[in-house]
C-alpha cells in the first residue's frame, strides 16, 4: 500500500504545511503512536485544507520560530503524511493521527489565506541490490541496536519487532531503528530531534544506514561512560558511608574507654594552661578549643583550628635560657672564634656586663656592615655561644613578601606564621639570638614591603607586642637579641637603619689575615683533611704571599680556599706515598719557594713602591672594597696647542676626583708667588695628570694633596721622595681635611715598604685602630696645610734650574720634615 502511495505521490506537488516543534516524523509507513495537535490558526487551516482534499499534509520541523508565520524557518526536508484520524475539540483545536510514507524536498513555501503551502518534490526510496557487504552492514546495525536496547532495558512492540526482522531495505531499516532509538526516557540517553532530522535529510538509503549505525554506536559509548561514572560515584558513596560508620563506631568505643574527642580537647586545655601564655593568647586558645569540641572531627575547619592551637602551644611563652655570665670566659670565647674585631667584642662584653647587673634588659639590635667574607654571620654564632643564648638564623636575601615576616592570615588555605615566629619556635626559648642575614638584599613588589614589616620587629619600643597575622595575638620579642648583617649600608631603608646600632667591619688587614690564617684557618684545614700526623707548616712569608698574590678580598674566604687547596695536594701526595709503601714525612713545610708547586703562578701583581725619586710622580694611598693600596699619580707638562693651557685627566676618574684635581690646580695657581713659581706661564702649558690602572674606576677626594704635590713637582722640577706616601683632601685655601679608611691605607703603605706617611691632622684619632707594631715601624706626619705637605715630600731644588721656574725654596723648607710647619704670614 505504501509503495502504491509512493508511486501516486511522485513528482512535484503542493501540500499544506503542518509545523512541528522539536519533533520529527519519519516516513515509516505506520501510524504514529502519539497524536499531533493543531492549536495555532495556521496549523488548523493546514489540517482542514488537507481534509478537504486528499487528506495529505507535509510535516516540517521548525528551525527558527517567528511570530509572523511567513517568517518562520523550516528544515529543507520533510515527511509527506496521510491523516488517518482526526478530532476537533470545543476550543477549535484539532487532534490528528498521521502516517508518514515519503520524504519530500521543499522547493518553496507560500503563505496564503492564513495557510502555509509548500511546493515539494516527493522523493521515492531508491532500490538497492543485495550484496554481502550490505548484508554485513545490516547485521552490524541490528547488533548495535540490540545492544542498545539491552543496555537501556527497553521493550519493543511485537508489531515493530516483526517489521524490524522482516525489513530488508537498508533505508527503511535505518528509519525504523532511528525511530526506535529516539523514544525519550528520563533514565537513558536517546537520539535528539536534530539527529532524526539529519536522518531525514539523508536521501541515499545506504548512507542513511551508515549514519544510523554511527549514531547508535555513539549512544552505546555514552551509555558506557555514564555507567562507569555511576559505578565510581557509587563506590565513593559506599566508601564514605563505610568510613563514617567506622568513625562513629570508633568514637563510641573511645567514649566507652574514656579516650574520645572530649578527652582530647581536655588534654589541649591542660596544655594551654600549663604553657603560661599571655592572658590574651590563653583566652584565644581556649575559645578555639571550645569551637573544636563542637565540630565534627572529620571537617576541614577542625584541622585548621587544631593546627592553630598546636602553633600556640609550640611557642616558648615562658621558656628562657639561663647562663652564668663570666666576662673573662666570654672574651676568651670571642677571641677563640675571631681574631681582631675589637670594637664588636667590646660592645658584646658591655652588653653582658649590663645583663649581669640588671635582671631584665631589652635585647640590643646590632647591624654588622662589611664586605663578604669578613665573618659577620659566624660572629653572630660566637656571640650566641658567649652569651649562652640559642642561635637561629633567617636569610632575608631575595625576600619580597611581607607575609614572610608577619605570616598569612588564617583565612587563606595552607596559611602559616611568618618566619620570625617560626624562628622563635625553632629556638625553643624566648630570648634567643636571632640573626637576620643579608638585610640589605630585601626587595618589594605588589605583595608588600618586608622592610616595613621589620620596623616593628626591630623597634624595642614596639616588639614587646609583636602580632603575627596568623596567630593574631601579641608575642613578646623584647628579650630577643637581634643581629642583622649587610654588605652595603645605603641599601638599607633609612627608617630601618635608624632602629639599629651600626657596627662596621671594614675588612681585615694583611696583618690580621696573616694571624687569622696562622691561628685559625691553617689548624682548621689540617684537622679537616686529616693531616695531623704530617705536621704541616705554612710559613708566615708563604701566607703573606698567598694574601697579596693569590687573593684580592676584604675577607678571608678565598684565603681559606687557597689553604684548602694546599691541604688537598698534601693529602694526595701523602696517600700516593702510602700506596707505594713509602714512609710519609714527619714534617712538611710550605714556603715561598715551593708555594707555586701547590697553587700555581700568582694571580695578582703586588703593588711596589717607586724605586727612585722622580719629578711629577707622587705615591698616594687609596681605599678599595678589598682593602688599601698604593698608587703612583703622575703629572707632566706639555706646550699648549691653543692660546690657553688645559688640565687633562685620565685613568677613569670619578667626578669628585676630577674636582679635587681642579681644586689642587687652582690652589697652585693662586699661591704661585709663595710657592716660588711666580714666573710660570700657565696659559702656555698643558698639564696632564694620569692615575695608573685605567681600567679600574677611581673616586673620592682623599687624593687632593697627592694631586697638588704632583702638579707642583711637574711645574717646579723638584723631585718627590720615593720613600713617602700621602693621603688627604685639599681646599682652595690649602687646608688639609680628614679622610676615611686610614687603617687600610697605612697597612697598604707598610706592606709595600713605605715607612713614612703624610696624613691629615684630624685623623690622629684613627691611629688607635692601627696595630701597635705597625705604628712603631712607621713615621707618620700629621699636617694641616698644603705647605707642610710640600716641605715634607719634595727634595731640595737642583742646579741648574729650569728657565720657566724661579727655583727659590718654599717657605719653611729649613724645618725638619717630620714636624708640622706654621703657615707663612698672609697664607
Active site residue 702: yes
Judge contact between 64 and 92, C-beta under 8 A.
no
- Give the single-character DSSP code of 611: S
| Positive or negative: CA dihedral 402, 405, 410, 416 | positive
Cβ-based neighbour number of residue 186 at 10 Å:
4
Residue 382 φ/ψ, nearest 5 degrees: -65, -40
Buried/exposed code over 698-723 (b: 16+ C-beta within 10 A; e: otherwise)? bebbbbbbbbbbbbbbbbbbbbbbbe
Angle at 547 between CA 541 and CA 549, to 5 degrees: 95
Using alpha carbons only, how large is the chain's radius of gyration in Å? 51
What is the rounded CA–CA span in Å between residue 20 and residue 213?
Answer: 26
Grid coordinates given for 207 = 548512507
Catalytic residue, chosen from 478, 660, 745, 821, is 745
Residue 30 φ/ψ, nearest 5 degrees: -130, 155
Beta strands 588-590 and 536-538: pairing type?
Answer: parallel
- Give the single-character DSSP code of 625: T
What is the rounded CA–CA span in Å between residue 80 and residue 57?
Answer: 6
What is the rounded CA–CA span in Å between residue 106 and residue 13?
Answer: 10
CA distances from 279 to 282, 472, 512 (A): 5, 13, 52
| Positive or negative: CA dihedral 506, 511, 516, 522 | positive
| Positive or negative: CA dihedral 383, 385, 390, 392 | positive
Q: Which of 387, 473, 471, 467 is nearest to 435 (CA)?
A: 387
CA distances from 290 to 284, 299, 309, 391, 412 (A): 10, 15, 11, 36, 22
What is the rounded CA–CA span in Å between residue 62 and residue 115?
Answer: 15
Catalytic residue, chosen from 32, 182, 478, 702, is 702
Judge contact between 389 and 480, C-beta under 8 A.
no
Q: Which of 316, 535, 320 is nearest to 431 (CA)?
A: 320
Active-site residue list: 702, 745
Amino acid at each position: 500500500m505504501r509503495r502504491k502511495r509512493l508511486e501516486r505521490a511522485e513528482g512535484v506537488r503542493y501540500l499544506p504545511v503542518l509545523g512541528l516543534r522539536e519533533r520529527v516524523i519519519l516516513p515509516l509507513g505506520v501510524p504514529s503512536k502519539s497524536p499531533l495537535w493543531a492549536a495555532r490558526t495556521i496549523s488548523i487551516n493546514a489540517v482542514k485544507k488537507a481534509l478537504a482534499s486528499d487528506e495529505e499534509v507535509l510535516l516540517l520541523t521548525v528551525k527558527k520560530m517567528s511570530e509572523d508565520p511567513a517568517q518562520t524557518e523550516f528544515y529543507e526536508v520533510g515527511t509527506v503524511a496521510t491523516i488517518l484520524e482526526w478530532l476537533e475539540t470545543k476550543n477549535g483545536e484539532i487532534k490528528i493521527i498521521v502516517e508518514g510514507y515519503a520524504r519530500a524536498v521543499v522547493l518553496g513555501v507560500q503563505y496564503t489565506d492564513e495557510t502555509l503551502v509548500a511546493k515539494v518534490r516527493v522523493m521515492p526510496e531508491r532500490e538497492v541490490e543485495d550484496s554481502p557487504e550490505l548484508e554485513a552492514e545490516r547485521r552490524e546495525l541490528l547488533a548495535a541496536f540490540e545492544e542498545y536496547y539491552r543496555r537501556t532495558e527497553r521493550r519493543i512492540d511485537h508489531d515493530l519487532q516483526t517489521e524490524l526482522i522482516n525489513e530488508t531495505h537498508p533505508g527503511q531499516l535505518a528509519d525504523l531503528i532511528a525511530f526506535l532509538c529516539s523514544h525519550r526516557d528520563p533514565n537513558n540517553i536517546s537520539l535528539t530531534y536534530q539527529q532524526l532530522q539529519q536522518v531525514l535529510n539523508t536521501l541515499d538509503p545506504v548512507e542513511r544506514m551508515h549514519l544510523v549505525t554511527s549514531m547508535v554506536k555513539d549512544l552505546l559509548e555514552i551509555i558506557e561512560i555514564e555507567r562507569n561514572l555511576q559505578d565510581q560515584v557509587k563506590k565513593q558513596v559506599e566508601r564514605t558511608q563505610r568510613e563514617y560508620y567506622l568513625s562513629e563506631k570508633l568514637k563510641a568505643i573511645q567514649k566507652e574507654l574514656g579516650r574520645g574527642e572530649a578527652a582530647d580537647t581536655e588534654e589541649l586545655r591542660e596544655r594551654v594552661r600549663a604553657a603560661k601564655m599571655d592572658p590574651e593568647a590563653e583566652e584565644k586558645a581556649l575559645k578555639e578549643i571550645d569551637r573544636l569540641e563542637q565540630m565534627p572531627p572529620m571537617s576541614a575547619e577542625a584541622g585548621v583550628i587544631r593546627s592553630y592551637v598546636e602553633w600556640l602551644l609550640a611557642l616558648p611563652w615562658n621558656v628562657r635560657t639561663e647562663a652564668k655570665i663570666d666576662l673573662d670566659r666570654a672574651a676568651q670565647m670571642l677571641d677563640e672564634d675571631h681574631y681582631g674585631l675589637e670594637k664588636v667584642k667590646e660592645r658584646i662584653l658591655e652588653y653582658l656586663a649590663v645583663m649581669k647587673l640588671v635582671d631584665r634588659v631589652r635585647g640590643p639590635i646590632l647591624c654588622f656592615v662589611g664586605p663578604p667574607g669578613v665573618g659577620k654571620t659566624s660572629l653572630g654564632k660566637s656571640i650566641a655561644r658567649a652569651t649562652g643564648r640559642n642561635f637561629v638564623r633567617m636569610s632575608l636575601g631575595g625576600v619580597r613578601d611581607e607575609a614572610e615576616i608577619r605570616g598569612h592570615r588564617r583565612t587563606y588555605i595552607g596559611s602559616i606564621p611568618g618566619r620570625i615566629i617560626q624562628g622563635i619556635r625553632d629556638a625553643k626559648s624566648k630570648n634567643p639570638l636571632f640573626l637576620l642575614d643579608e638585610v640589605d638584599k630585601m626587595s618589594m613588589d605588589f605583595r608588600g614591603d618586608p622592610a616595613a614589616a621589620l620596623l616593628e620587629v626591630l623597634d624595642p619600643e614596639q616588639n614587646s607586642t609583636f602580632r603575627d597575622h596568623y596567630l593574631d595575638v601579641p608575642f613578646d620579642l623584647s628579650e630577643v637579641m637581634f643581629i642583622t648583617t649587610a654588605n652595603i649600608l645605603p641599601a638599607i631603608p633609612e627608617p630601618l637603619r635608624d632602629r639599629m646600632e651600626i657596627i662596621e667591619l671594614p675588612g681585615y688587614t694583611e696583618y690580621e689575615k696573616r694571624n687569622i690564617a696562622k691561628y685559625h684557618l691553617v689548624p682548621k684545614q689540617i684537622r679537616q683533611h686529616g693531616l695531623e700526623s704530617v705536621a704541616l707548616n705554612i710559613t708566615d712569608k708563604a701566607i703573606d704571599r698567598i694574601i697579596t698574590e693569590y687573593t684580592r678580598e676584604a675577607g678571608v674566604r678565598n684565603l681559606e680556599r687557597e689553604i684548602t687547596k694546599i691541604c688537598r695536594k698534601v693529602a694526595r701526595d701523602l696517600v700516593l706515598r702510602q700506596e707505594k709503601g713509602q714512609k710519609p714525612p714527619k714534617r712538611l713545610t710550605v714556603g715561598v719557594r715551593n708555594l707555586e708547586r701547590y697553587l700555581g703562578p700568582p694571580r695578582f701583581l703586588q703593588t711596589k713602591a717607586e724605586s727612585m725619586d722622580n719629578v711629577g710622580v707622587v705615591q698616594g694611598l687609596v681605599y678599595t672594597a678589598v682593602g688599601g693600596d698604593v698608587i703612583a699619580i703622575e703629572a707632566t707638562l706639555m706646550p699648549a696647542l691653543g692660546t690657553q693651557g688645559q688640565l687633562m685627566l685620565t685613568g677613569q676618574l670619578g667626578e669628585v676626583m676630577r674636582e679635587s684635581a681642579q681644586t689642587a690646580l687652582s690652589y697652585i695657581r693662586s699661591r704661585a708667588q709663595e710657592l716660588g713659581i711666580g714666573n710660570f706661564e700657565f696659559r702656555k702649558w698643558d698639564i696632564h695628570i694620569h692615575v695608573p690602572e685605567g681600567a679600574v674606576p677611581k673616586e673620592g677626594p682623599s687624593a687632593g694633596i697627592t694631586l697638588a704635590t704632583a702638579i707642583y713637582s711637574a711645574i717646579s722640577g723638584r723631585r718627590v721622595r720615593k720613600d713617602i706616601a700621602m693621603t688627604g683632601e685639599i681646599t682652595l685655601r690649602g687646608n688639609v681635611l680628614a679622610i676615611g679608611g686610614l687603617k687600610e691605607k697605612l697597612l697598604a703603605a707598610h706592606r709595600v715598604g713605605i715607612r713614612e706617611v703624610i696624613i691629615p691632622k684630624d685623623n690622629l684619632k684613627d691611629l688607635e685602630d692601627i696595630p701597635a707594631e705597625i705604628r712603631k715601624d712607621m713615621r707618620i706626619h700629621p699636617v694641616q696645610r698644603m705647605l707642610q705637605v710640600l716641605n715634607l715630600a719634595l727634595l731640595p731644588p737642583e742646579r741648574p734650574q729650569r728657565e720657566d721656574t724661579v727655583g727659590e725654596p718654599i717657605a719653611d723648607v729649613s724645618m725638619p720634615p717630620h714636624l708640622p710647619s706654621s703657615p707663612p704670614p698672609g697664607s
